[in-house]
Amino acid sequence: MKEISAEDINNFEKVYRLNLINSITGFKSANLIGTKSLESGISNLAIFSSVIHLGSNPPLLGFMLRPTSGDNNTFENLKESGFFTVNHVPKTQLKSAHQTSAKYDPKISEFDKTGLTEIYKADFQAPYVEESRIQLACRYRNDYFIEENDCRLIVGEIEQVFLPDNALEEDGFVDLQKAGSVTINGVDGYSETGLIDRFSYAKPD
Amino acid sequence: MKEISAEDINNFEKVYRLNLINSITGFKSANLIGTKSLESGISNLAIFSSVIHLGSNPPLLGFMLRPTSGDNNTFENLKESGFFTVNHVPKTQLKSAHQTSAKYDPKISEFDKTGLTEIYKADFQAPYVEESRIQLACRYRNDYFIEENDCRLIVGEIEQVFLPDNALEEDGFVDLQKAGSVTINGVDGYSETGLIDRFSYAKPD
């Protein structure tokens, strides 16, 4: 077993530390967040590995914005409009999804550059990714500034869910493998999954 | 494609909503958090699917505590002692790991009830899980109360990392599949993974 100390971590070269610390907490979700500026009408799409479940009632999710994020459009747009979409990265579109992390000119929509298809549903303001098989319409609720490293936790409420019929089980469980969703390992590793088992509610004996 | 509205979500039966909303944000990390009460000396171990990467420099992670969590020992112990461990759920110990979510008497250590092995390293105060192949020593830094649903985001700093030599790549990337780590789908689904690809740093053209 290899042992890495706080001092080692501090002394690592930047990319090495980034790879290590981004991997070490375990697997992450893989989502594309879609927003649109009210003012300019320009849409924005960015990949996030930090979308998390926050609660079921009300249905809340969160994601982290880095201070150094090249994609500040996401935050600006969702604060301004109040809306965003969360779209699962599909196994068939890894390269295009990853490409949304490039630092494009804010006046350019990532939809135009990556080949992912921008669609709108009903009168929801933010764009969905057509290729994503799970799509969520979300409303901005709040954000929390994390003073330890100048990050920001965005809290959103899920207002609508689109998903493939065959991925939804009788008890509400969504089989993400059947939906073609992937998981992220570290900064840049994309993994497919295979469900081993589901366990029943644990009781003391 | 199936469409689920906010009203549908609100009207679902509790367990159905729990399964759906816990699945719908994507795959989650699978970790066991170990703590020990300074006062009573009783150790605590609980499974969490909410451990997330917060930043690399300083190396920070976070996890969410639910207001209704049966396991308040984790929060009490880490606030009191200032320390906790994060241990990846190994593929070989899913049942034991899941069993830590049962509501045991606070005077009982989950280590005694689940068969997972409690070990201590150097003079670090919190217990590690011997069966976990990736283990992190963490120091409590802060917590943020999320007023939208009375949850709490705990922020910890990684002080030491233990991992298998063969999972650590030359550039710092940790291959979680090689470490036998799993990912969580929803409340109770455990999945193994297969790395599809790693992509290089994305540039506009």
Domains with residue ranges and CATH for chain B? 25-191 (2.30.110.10)
Taking the C-alpha atoms of residue A48 and residue A114, their distance in angstroms, rounded to an integer, is 16
pLDDT tens, B137-161?
999 999 999 999 999 999 999 999 9
CA distance A147 to chain B (A): 9
Partner-chain contact A193 B188, CB within 8 Å = no
**Alpha-carbon gap, residue A180 to A92, rounded angstroms:** 8
pLDDT of residue A106: 87
Cβ A160 vs Cβ B5: under 8 Å = yes
Rounded-to-integer distance, Cα B78 and Cα B96, Å:
22
What pLDDT digit, counting tens, does each position of B106-137 carry?
Answer: 899 999 999 999 999 999 999 999 999 999 99
| Res B201: pLDDT | 87
pLDDT category of residue B72 using cuts at 50, 70 and 90? confident
C-alpha A160/C-alpha A158 separation (Å) is 6
Asked if B4 is an interface residue toward chain A (Cβ–Cβ < 8 A), one would say yes
Show Cβ contacts of residue A26 under 8 Å, excluding neighbours closer than 6 positions: B29, B30, B31, B51, B88, B134, B176, B181, B183
Q: Are the beta carbons of A164 and B3 separated by less than 8 Å?
A: no
A129 contact B CB<8A: no
- Which residues lie below 8 Å from residue B140, measured CB to CB, with a gap of 6+? B78, B79, B82, B83, B84, B154, B155, B156
pLDDT digits (tens, 9 = 90+) for A86-101: 999 999 999 999 999 9
Mean pLDDT for the stretch of residues A119-143: 97
The pair of structure tokens assigned to A134 is 């799970």
B181 vs B56: CA distance, rounded Å: 20
Q: Is the pLDDT of residue A68 over 80?
A: no
- Is A174 an 8 Å CB contact of chain B? yes
* List of chain A residues whose C-beta atoms are within 8 Å of the C-beta of residue B157: 148
Collect all residues of chain A within an 8 Å Cβ-Cβ radius of residue B129. Answer: none
Which residue, among B31, B45, B48, B52, would best test binding to A if mutated, counting the most A CBs under 10 Å from its CB? B52
Q: Which residues of B29-61 are buried (b: 16+ CB within 10 A; e: fewer)?
A: bbbbbbbbbeeeebbbbbbbbbbbbbbbeebbb
Q: CA-CA distances (angstroms) from residue A191 to A142, A205, B191?
A: 31, 35, 11
